[in-house]
Every structure is written in C-alpha cells, then in structure tokens.
C-alpha cells in the first residue's frame, strides 16, 4: 500500500472511483441556467472542415474555455501564437497522475469521440498537424476507448496524424513539461513555454469543452469532478455546474462522515485546503477531497538534515533544500537564482522530506514574490 502526504492510501477500494460513471447532477443544483448559447453551425464529429481556424478561436474565446487541468490559462491565448512561432504537435494530456482523481479518466471512457473532435479543433486553430494523446498505463480502458474513437473519426483536413502514447504511471507524468519530454523527448527550456519546442498541451477535459462549444453551442459552465476521500460517504464522479458549492457536491455523495476534518480542492499532492464549504467549484476544480481526522493531522516541521532526498525527487532538477533556504530567509534573489519559477508545485520534495518541511508552501509564496519583483523591474526598465 502506498501512502501519500495527507495519509491517503492508493489501494483503498472504497475510494476508487474509476468504475463510477459520471453522474449528471448539474440540473439539480441551486444555480440557475444562464441560458447562454453560442451560435453554431450544424456540425457533427466529422465536420472539422466547417470550422476555420478563426472560427475556432472565436468559439473557444466566447465559450470561456480555460485549461481545466489546473492552470486555468485561457485556451484561446494558448492558441494565438506570436509572429514567427509555430507548433506542429498538440498534446492531449490524459494522464491525470494525482492519486484518486478519475474525472478525466471517466470522460475519456464515456466521451472519447468528443475529446478527439475537440483535439482536432484545437490542433486546427493552432496550426499543428499532429495530435498525440498521452495516457498513463493504469488507464488501459481509456486508451482503448480513445483509440477506437480515433479509428472511427481519423485524422482529416490539416491534421496528418492522431496517435495515442501510453506512458508509465508515474507522478507527476501529467506535468506539462514532463509530458512533453516523455512524448517528444524534447526539454522545454527553463523559463520557456511548450511552444518553444513546437508543442502545445491541452487537458482532455479542455478538448471535450471545445467540442461541446462547437457542436452544441454550450459555453464552459459545467465540469466533471471526482468527489472522494475517507471523509465522503459515497465517493463518485459528478457532472456539476461551475459554482456548485463544496457542500452541495459532497451532499450528492451521501455527505461527510462523522470524522471528516479537512477539505481539499484538487488532489492530495497539489490540492489547496479550503475552510468554507460554500467555496464554489471552479473551471479548474477536478476534485473535492475530504480527509478524516487521522489523515488531516499536521506534522511538525524540523530542521533540514541535508539528506538530499528532495533533490533526487524533484522532476524539474531543482535543489529544493537550497530553494527553501532562500525562501525562508526571504532572500528572493537567491530563490530566483535557484530557478524557483521552474517549480511546478508537484509536492514530490515535501513528500519525501523526513523533516516534514512544507517545501511547496515556501515555493508558492516565493514564486508570487519573484514574479512580482520581476514585473516591477521590467516596468521600471520600460519607464527609464
């Protein structure tokens, strides 16, 4: 049995939502329908030719589609490339590597055709001729479903190749830069973007949302989330409206157990704790995780013993112990020099740290401050 930070056990069958079909509860929450509809052409899963790149950009922007894997970056901004930059590959991230989250897995299983069509739209808008799905090898059924959808709706128009690459189940396989390296063998440079190596990455749910906008004129007002954890009576996957509260979503899953103690939005590795059950589900919320008292126990931080485990664990090749020194001492120049902005906040370093140092918390704060300082410097340079 593998234990993750915050005490979650991967092999706990009760918490395995892989076999739980998506339950649509979007119609029964207290949020009124916006009635908002995007005008669309009559299209089907094989009518990519009906959409020009400009149409797709407009659609994606009007539908309010953002990266649904966590970052929340507006999708149309990712699709508009600066002069002289081109991408040849769209990567669809189907890894969902954090333990317990199965929302994208269910989506790939239940709506693979939509995801393939959405991927085609995004590829056409970005000018890429190749689409690669990256899916971890613990999601064999999803691999089968996506491959079958590709066979039924093969590459067309400006797209030459659509393929599925099965990747080892390894955290954080779904990190954008890690995924690009696993699939293309290319390393995104420090401070760079995927387009610097000719790729652009979208989450499977984002591709599905693009298809919903194009085929049904539906903006991004709903999403699939996994509601799970030892503090939830009946863990499952739900389709909810954006804005549904944590309390409402958990109630659809039988409510909380008597020993529920902590709610996290996101997975056990990268999620953020929330203190108010009225916190809404956002476009980037993939999971509501409720921990019991035992799992939510906080450990006391002790001094770094220079064991170097965090360095070995860091997937981006950083030195978390040195980074933490800079961040703790509020030496932001040191943190910047140690490339804190390359930290993907995966939590691997904190997971292995025997001194229980909450390294990621230091890095999150340091990233915000370093980004603000860099911006200030750039503004000053422009003024002078």
Which spans of this chain sit near ligand SF4 (rule: CB under 6 A)? Answer: 304-310, 313-314, 316, 318, 320-321, 324, 343-349, 352-355, 357, 359-360, 363
3-state secondary structure of 368: helix
The maximal CA–CA distance of the chain, rounded, in angstroms, is: 64
Smaller CB separation from ligand SF4, 60 or 344: 344
**Torsional sign, CA 5, 7, 11, 14:** negative
Least CB distance to ligand SF4 at residue 318 (A)? 4
Least CB distance to ligand SF4 at residue 361 (A)? 10
Smaller CB separation from ligand SF4, 5 or 280: 5
Smaller CB separation from ligand SF4, 155 or 353: 353
69-100: buried (b, 16+ CB within 10 Å) or exposed (e) per residue? bbeeeebbebbeeeeeeebbbbbbbbbbbbbb
3-state secondary structure of 292: strand
Least CB distance to ligand SF4 at residue 367 (A)? 9
Least CB distance to ligand SF4 at residue 168 (A)? 18
338/323 Cα distance (integer angstroms): 6
**Who contacts 285 (Cβ-Cβ below 8 Å, separation ≥6)?**
223, 225, 265, 266
Least CB distance to ligand SF4 at residue 317 (A)? 8
Q: What share of the chain is helix, strand, coil (3-state, %, to 5)?
A: 40, 15, 45
Per DSSP, 179 falls in state: H
Least CB distance to ligand SF4 at residue 78 (A)? 21
Least CB distance to ligand SF4 at residue 304 (A)? 3
Q: Of the candidates 272, 134, 107, which has an alpha carbon nearest to the alpha carbon of residue 194?
A: 134
Smaller CB separation from ligand SF4, 5 or 235: 5
Smaller CB separation from ligand SF4, 44 or 302: 302
Least CB distance to ligand SF4 at residue 259 (A)? 29
Smaller CB separation from ligand SF4, 117 or 362: 362
377/225 Cα distance (integer angstroms): 40
- Count CA atoms within 13 Å of residue 69 on its CB side: 20
Q: Of the candidates 163, 103, 153, which has an alpha carbon nearest to the alpha carbon of residue 129?
A: 163
Least CB distance to ligand SF4 at residue 357 (A)? 5
Beta strands at 236-241 and 23-24: parallel, antiparallel or unpaired: parallel
143/164 Cα distance (integer angstroms): 7
Can you give the length of the chain in residues? Answer: 384
Smaller CB separation from ligand SF4, 8 or 323: 323
Least CB distance to ligand SF4 at residue 52 (A)? 39
Smaller CB separation from ligand SF4, 115 or 346: 346
**Who contacts 120 (Cβ-Cβ below 8 Å, separation ≥6)?**
48, 131, 153, 155, 156, 157, 159, 162
303/39 Cα distance (integer angstroms): 59
Tokens of 221: 């007002």
């Amino acid at each position: 049995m593998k234990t993750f930070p915050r005490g979650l056990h991967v092999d706990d069958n009760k918490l395995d939502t892989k076999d739980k079909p998506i339950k649509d509860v979007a119609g029964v929450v207290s949020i009124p329908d916006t009635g908002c509809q995007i005008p669309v052409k009559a299209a089907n899963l094989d009518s990519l030719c009906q959409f020009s790149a400009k149409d797709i950009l407009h659609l994606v922007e009007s539908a309010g589609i953002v990266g649904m894997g966590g970052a929340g970056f507006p999708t149309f901004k990712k699709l508009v490339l600066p002069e002289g930059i081109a991408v040849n590959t769209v990567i669809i991230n189907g890894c969902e590597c954090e333990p317990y989250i199965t929302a994208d897995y269910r989506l790939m299983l239940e709506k693979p055709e939509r995801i393939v069509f959405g991927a085609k739209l995004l590829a056409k808008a970005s000018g890429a001729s190749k689409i690669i799905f990256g899916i971890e090898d613990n999601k064999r059924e999803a691999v089968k479903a996506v491959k079958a959808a590709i066979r039924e709706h093969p590459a067309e128009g400006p797209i030459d190749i659509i393929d599925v690459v099965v990747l080892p189940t390894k955290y954080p396989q779904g990190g954008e830069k890690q995924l690009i390296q696993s699939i293309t063998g290319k390393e995104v440079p420090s401070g760079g973007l995927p387009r610097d190596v000719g790729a652009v990455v979208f989450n499977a749910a984002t591709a599905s949302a693009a298809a919903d906008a194009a085929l049904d004129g539906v903006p991004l007002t709903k999403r699939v989330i996994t509601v799970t954890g030892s503090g939830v009576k009946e863990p499952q996957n739900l389709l909810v409206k954006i804005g549904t509260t944590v309390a409402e979503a958990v109630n659809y899953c039988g409510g909380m157990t008597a020993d529920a103690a902590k709610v996290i939005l996101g997975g056990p590795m990268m999620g953020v704790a929330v203190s108010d059950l009225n916190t809404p589900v956002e476009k980037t919320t993939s999971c509501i995780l409720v921990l019991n008292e035992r799992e939510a126990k906080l450990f006391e931080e002790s001094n770094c013993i220079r064991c170097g485990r965090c360095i070995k664990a860091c997937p981006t090749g950083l030195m978390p112990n040195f980074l933490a020194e800079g961040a703790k001492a509020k030496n932001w120049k040191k943190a910047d020099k140690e490339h804190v902005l390359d930290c993907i906040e995966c939590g691997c370093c904190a997971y292995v740290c025997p001194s229980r140092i909450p390294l990621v918390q230091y890095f999150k704060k340091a990233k915000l401050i370093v980004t603000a300082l860099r911006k200030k410097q750039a503004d000053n340079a422009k003024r002078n």
